[in-house]
Structure 1
């Protein structure tokens, strides 16, 4: 447990202070998923504590609840009288091939269309399974990727360590910080009640990792504006992930929307992005251009498979990285199952999200001290290495969820009322609370408050 936390603290340049994890038990898994949840959340909270210490001379204590941390890695929202939409497209999932297993990620309509352009139209899983069974894993993975879809062959950790992409990402640091010499000397406008008051976060991330980061920053008082394309939706996770944020839409391919985006970026303190490594560059908003528009910017980027190697520009998601990196194969052996066995939650996403938030907070602390901006790069595949190398978790089960785990406030969402789980971390004297309820994507105008 301490190993995970000290590894993360070292990667973030945080003091190696022990942080208490209260309560007992863990999510059932071949890996220490609950320990990863606690350690990543603890690191984000410790980064807040260090910022407060720098600004006030007071170092707040941090404490993480094991049960609540585990539950937040699944979903934080508890609907009252309505249900969350399904997380997965009907044909998404794992399929047996001629020689092994493959996972197809078809949640986005264009990703499903890509898979069907290779396999033919499939009305249901049975039709898809019959077609996948005619392929080898490697050939089908490559064919779907070539069609701009998302797929991952199941590999073992040993195979991943010999794979060119595994070799590349395993050589990367957990968090790759890059200095910049452009300046933005703005004083801290925060307080203990809202450490990030006055901080504008422009969020270009999707699904879980980046939105987890921006949700945490919003809970500390940041002004978070999420931008999505007009056609994008992710109904299964929006109620959980848009808490505390305003959500707008822009098309960065059209001149008028590009002008709006540049004006938003000019005033942003923190940019979070989860596009593939070359995507912003291809849109004309590469690193140099972003710095030109917003001197002193804190730029935190996420990539699925890492920032070097042959797959650095490959589309990827948590469930695919689990297949590629050996996690699903190890889970299958651990459970003595007849099919791939992923982690019980999308832990790579959630953990990387808290590491992104911690990275942004470390860079902000540095900017308040020196005036210099900076950037950080993280990846799901590198977080996977951290988890795999930590080894197995504990076998003791978590006490089941009950009503006492919920906060007392009623959140009025567009879908109906809901409770949130209690926040899984305590930072003494600092409330983590959200001023805005979860909302639909595109429900706000693209402007700062």
Structure 2
């Protein structure tokens, strides 16, 4: 645990302050997944604590519950009388090729359509398996990616270290901070109880990593406005990830909506985005334009495969990065399985999300000192390197979840009532609490 946390503290420029970790056991895995969960959450909590110390002279203590951290890396929501829709499209998953394994990610309709442009229409996994079996892994990965789809051949860690993209991302820092010359000397409006009260967070992220970051910031009192394209949906994760946020839709190809977005950005303190590295540039909202619109902006971004190398603009998700970087292959050997064995949770997403939140808090503390904004870049693939190099996992199981782990209050969502698990991070004097229940995408107007 100490090694993972120390690495993260160094990357974020946080003091090497010991953090209290309670409870025992871990998620069973070839890798130290629970350690990564606890360390990334601890870093986010410590960034809050350091912000409060800077503003008040009081340094809150931080404590992380190992069990709750592990559970939150899966889902925090416990529906009552209803079910969250399935996370995966029916044909998404791992398939055997002529020479190995490949993962197809088809959750978004346009990503499934891309795979079917290459492989032909498939109504079920059996049909897909028969078609994939005729291909070599590298050829199929390339074909699906060229069709603007999402796929990843299973590689070992050794193969990834020899791959041009593995070499590139492994040379990157865990968090790449960039200073901004622009100033916006906004005073601190928060308090020890709600340290981010008055902070406006514009969230352009999807699925898990970025939304994990903005959910954490919302729990500290930030005003989070999530923006999605007109037709985007991710029903399997929306009830989990929109907690504490307002959700609106804008089409950034439409002139009227672009004007609305620019106005929102001008008023934002923080922007979180998870587009591919070149996507906002193509939309006319590159880094320089964002700085012009919002001097002093705190700009935190992530992508799948890193910010340098031949794959920096490649579409990707946690499960694909696990296949590319050697995690699924190592899991297969660890479990003596006959197929790829991923992590028990999508830990790269969740951990990167908490690292994004910690980065945003560090940049906010810097802005409160100097008046200057700044940016931070993270990637799922670089977080994967941190996990792989943190050593093996453990077989000491977590104590099973029980009702005592749930908050007493009910969350009234559009889908029905639900409980949330207790927050795994405790910051003395600062309770993580969300004033808004989870909501559907597009359920609010695009305004602060």
Per the normalisation by structure 1, the TM-score is 1.00
Counterpart secondary structure, 1:226: strand
1:231 is the counterpart of 2:231:
yes
Whole-Å separation in 2 of the counterparts to 1:124 and 1:183: 55
User: Mapping of 1:131-170 within 5 angstroms?
Assistant: 131-170=131-170
8 Å contact from structure 2 (residues 30, 394) kept in 1: no
The count of aligned residue pairs is 448
Would you identify which runs of 4 or more consecutive aligned residues in structure 1 move more than 2 Å? none
Whole-Å separation in 2 of the counterparts to 1:309 and 1:240: 33
Counterpart secondary structure, 2:357: helix
Deviation of 1:254 (Å): 0.6
1:119 is the counterpart of 2:112:
no
Counterpart secondary structure, 1:94: strand
1:31 is the counterpart of 2:31:
yes
User: Mapping of 1:316-395 within 5 angstroms?
Assistant: 316-395=316-395
Per-residue deviation, residues 277-321 of structure 1 (Å, max 9, x unmatched): 000000000000000000000000101000000000000000000
8 Å contact from structure 2 (residues 12, 359) kept in 1: yes
Deviation of 1:336 (Å): 0.2
Whole-Å separation in 1 of the counterparts to 2:413 and 2:20: 34
Whole-Å separation in 1 of the counterparts to 2:146 and 2:170: 24
User: Mapping of 1:168-187 within 5 angstroms?
Assistant: 168-187=168-187
Corresponding residue of 1:14? 14
- In structure 1, runs of 5+ residues without a counterpart are none
Corresponding residue of 1:274? 274
Counterpart secondary structure, 2:121: coil
User: Mapping of 1:159-308 within 5 angstroms?
Assistant: 159-308=159-308
Deviation of 1:193 (Å): 1.6
Per-residue deviation, residues 353-374 of structure 1 (Å, max 9, x unmatched): 0000000000000000000000
Deviation of 1:432 (Å): 0.6
Whole-Å separation in 1 of the counterparts to 2:177 and 2:106: 33
Whole-Å separation in 2 of the counterparts to 1:240 and 1:409: 16
Whole-Å separation in 2 of the counterparts to 1:2 and 1:252: 43
Whole-Å separation in 1 of the counterparts to 2:232 and 2:344: 26
Whole-Å separation in 2 of the counterparts to 1:360 and 1:184: 15
Per-residue deviation, residues 96-132 of structure 1 (Å, max 9, x unmatched): 0000000000000000000000000000000000000
Counterpart secondary structure, 1:91: coil
Counterpart secondary structure, 1:419: strand
Per-residue deviation, residues 247-296 of structure 1 (Å, max 9, x unmatched): 00000001000000000000000000000000000000000000000000
Deviation of 1:192 (Å): 1.4
Whole-Å separation in 2 of the counterparts to 1:224 and 1:250: 15
Deviation of 1:53 (Å): 0.1
Whole-Å separation in 2 of the counterparts to 1:159 and 1:112: 27
Counterpart secondary structure, 2:333: helix
Per-residue deviation, residues 64-102 of structure 1 (Å, max 9, x unmatched): 000000000000000000001000000000000000000
Whole-Å separation in 2 of the counterparts to 1:383 and 1:339: 23
Whole-Å separation in 2 of the counterparts to 1:376 and 1:161: 24
- Larger CA deviation: 390-399 vs 334-343: 390-399
Corresponding residue of 1:444? 444
Counterpart secondary structure, 1:233: coil
Deviation of 1:20 (Å): 1.2
Counterpart secondary structure, 1:178: strand
Corresponding residue of 2:50? 50
Whole-Å separation in 1 of the counterparts to 2:335 and 2:92: 22
Corresponding residue of 1:2? 2
Counterpart secondary structure, 2:419: strand
Deviation of 1:391 (Å): 1.0
Whole-Å separation in 2 of the counterparts to 1:41 and 1:110: 33
Per the normalisation by structure 2, the TM-score is 1.00
Counterpart secondary structure, 2:305: coil
Whole-Å separation in 2 of the counterparts to 1:430 and 1:394: 32
Corresponding residue of 2:400? 400
Deviation of 1:394 (Å): 2.2
Counterpart secondary structure, 1:390: coil
CA RMSD after TM alignment = 0.3
